Structure 1
């Protein structure tokens, strides 16, 4: 039992545990901190020091809090989002927001501050990156404003216009060179590149694909999960491998396999575990991407991102006349509109052929 007003308890392991409110969450609820000592006296001394630090911090007005301290607190409330998103948020806060604004007090941040920050980003980064950094900044500062720590400053901020990026795809000769290499390869994992070329799945989905998700009787693969490296909650580990649900609800999907690919998978089927593996264990995307890059270098094909394979699949599918709705479902896009926005502008020859087909309807007689 604790002595009156002390909040120090003797534990079953013989140590003494002191408890105190070290912080408050965004709803004003106290967050409990702990100190430990071999004796009651040691625990009490540690508790007094911890409480003094808290008192020193909270003697300042809330708006005097530094931006970096606020974002540390805000990030601690974002554990409900996907680990991959949390890793991105943390990286953007650490490498961009804290670097430029971290030592400012919340009460000093104005709309002009935010606009100046965005303008500085525009000079260094692509519009899509600027928008992503600003989105995280706005989420954090809007929460601070909602908590009464500062006025709302993220209103009518001018962002750079996003340009449609040109979709990079492999030419047909490049694709044939890759396929020819894989055909003669003695590395069983190289078939993963072929799977992506003919299904359009993402590299994380490939690395998470298990044999239990491959139905060779029906000739279908079921995309149920994705694999990525994310920031770790464990003290001794900075990052860890995570296997989780795919990017979105529509990313959970069944994809029919071409017959030649079903036959190839039947030839290497080994019952269970990961389809792409190293001694039975999963291979993370960055490691598998290095193998892919090594193949490109060996066969003299230009060095492009692994995601180019997905774009190549979609482009080839449109070239042979696959309808947008079917392609959208296979790619796991939220809607056919997303698919059109990405790929329609990159197929002028396909558009011309379709218009020629329409023109053949003309018969005035």
Structure 2
């Protein structure tokens, strides 16, 4: 994004910048009524006015979309996925992208061992960027981006003994606290590391995993504080040095990867990634008889269909009644004869 500026014009806002081609200043009246609205509208106006005569390329749209996302986590992720997507699609204009291009990309990525889930994410980012460009009026239409089917999760839920061993295997206090909160809330590791004391309410007994500015793409929930979590949080609160719940040496913790790996070694657990804790929480609640609606809310899912898709396979007993209806054997149908 160039050095554009927001100013005042005829009682409203305007955007202006110096045209590198002509050296002249270009200025446009905006419809925005607040400074924040003007900043966003000004960026979009620049993109429309500075489009190359041959049309925007995918690479240009990709960069503009990342800029539009600002500090949202997706912007960072797209910085990584772009390294795979742009070599094949970057120089194309949107109207040149075909379904066959998507299929060729899928084949090229899967052949060396890339998972379908990763390819789904990469092409999903491409689709999002092109749809945004269409919405902003930067292109006349967004091409169809064919995504590979998203594979079902193959994550194995952990057993009770494994979870207890994992907690006992945590060496440093901040690793133990983080793992306990992961188990007690079913939250993602990012949500736990983002958690501040301001969002821990001991009086009401709730933990608010949501970010106040709502920038995260993944759903987060407000969950009750169970006995295990309360005990760990109260101990940490007495020793706190920062606003963040999970801290170490007076600083916020950005990653627990090393400490978590060490805990797995002490617990003698293999092939247990940290996201398995969230799956284990969901499966444990469901198998204990909790309604799937409650579990969906606990996990922060945007709708219950997400929860059903991922976890319904862990509840085959729900179909037991339906299976009984399909007993067609004569022995079951005939009443027993008394002699």
Output the TM-score relative to the length of structure 2. Answer: 0.69
Aligned residues: 286
Cα distance in 1 for partners of 2:136, 2:228 equals 59
- 1:167 paired with 2:155, answer yes
Aligned residue number for residue 192 of structure 2: 206
More strand, by proportion = 1
Using the TM superposition, give the Cα deviation of residue 199 of structure 1 relative to its aligned residue in structure 2, in angstroms. Answer: 1.6
Aligned residue number for residue 20 of structure 1: 18
Quote the RMSD (CA, aligned, Å): 3.8
Using the TM superposition, give the Cα deviation of residue 118 of structure 1 relative to its aligned residue in structure 2, in angstroms. Answer: 4.0
| 1:329 match: secondary structure | helix
Aligned residue number for residue 251 of structure 2: 281
Cα distance in 1 for partners of 2:143, 2:48 equals 28
Aligned residue number for residue 79 of structure 1: 69
Consecutive unaligned residues in structure 1, runs of 5 or more: 1-18, 33-56, 227-242
Q: Is the 8 A contact 1:200 1:313 kept in 2?
A: yes
Cα distance in 1 for partners of 2:200, 2:287 equals 27
Aligned residue number for residue 84 of structure 2: 96
Among 250, 258, 262, the residue aligned to 1:290: 258
- 1:311 paired with 2:279, answer yes
What are the within-5 Å matches in structure 2 for residues 1-365 of structure 1? 20-22=18-20, 27=45, 61-63=53-55, 67-69=58-60, 71-76=62-67, 78-79=68-69, 83-93=72-82, 95-103=83-91, 109-110=97-98, 112-124=100-112, 125-141=114-130, 154-155=143-144, 158-182=146-170, 185=171, 187-225=173-211, 245-247=215-217, 251=220, 253-270=221-238, 273-284=243-254, 287-348=255-316, 351=318
Cα deviation 1:218-268 (Å, max 9, x = unaligned): 332122329xxxxxxxxxxxxxxxx964445x52x3211222432343234
Cα–Cα, structure 1 residues 146 and 277, in superposed 2: closer, same or farther, change >3 Å?
closer
Q: Is the 8 A contact 1:197 1:310 kept in 2?
A: yes
Cα–Cα, structure 1 residues 30 and 102, in superposed 2: closer, same or farther, change >3 Å?
closer
Cα–Cα, structure 1 residues 196 and 67, in superposed 2: closer, same or farther, change >3 Å?
closer
Using the TM superposition, give the Cα deviation of residue 331 of structure 1 relative to its aligned residue in structure 2, in angstroms. Answer: 1.0
Structure of higher CA gyration radius = 1
Cα distance in 1 for partners of 2:169, 2:133 equals 55
Using the TM superposition, give the Cα deviation of residue 84 of structure 1 relative to its aligned residue in structure 2, in angstroms. Answer: 0.6
Cα–Cα, structure 1 residues 193 and 154, in superposed 2: closer, same or farther, change >3 Å?
same
Moved more, 204-213 or 172-181: 172-181
Q: Is the 8 A contact 2:130 2:143 kept in 1?
A: yes
Cα–Cα, structure 1 residues 138 and 351, in superposed 2: closer, same or farther, change >3 Å?
closer
Cα distance in 1 for partners of 2:110, 2:135 equals 28
Using the TM superposition, give the Cα deviation of residue 332 of structure 1 relative to its aligned residue in structure 2, in angstroms. Answer: 0.9
Cα–Cα, structure 1 residues 199 and 28, in superposed 2: closer, same or farther, change >3 Å?
closer
| 1:224 match: secondary structure | coil
Using the TM superposition, give the Cα deviation of residue 26 of structure 1 relative to its aligned residue in structure 2, in angstroms. Answer: 5.7
| 1:255 match: secondary structure | strand
Cα–Cα, structure 1 residues 151 and 91, in superposed 2: closer, same or farther, change >3 Å?
same
Cα deviation 1:141-161 (Å, max 9, x = unaligned): 566778999885723x55433
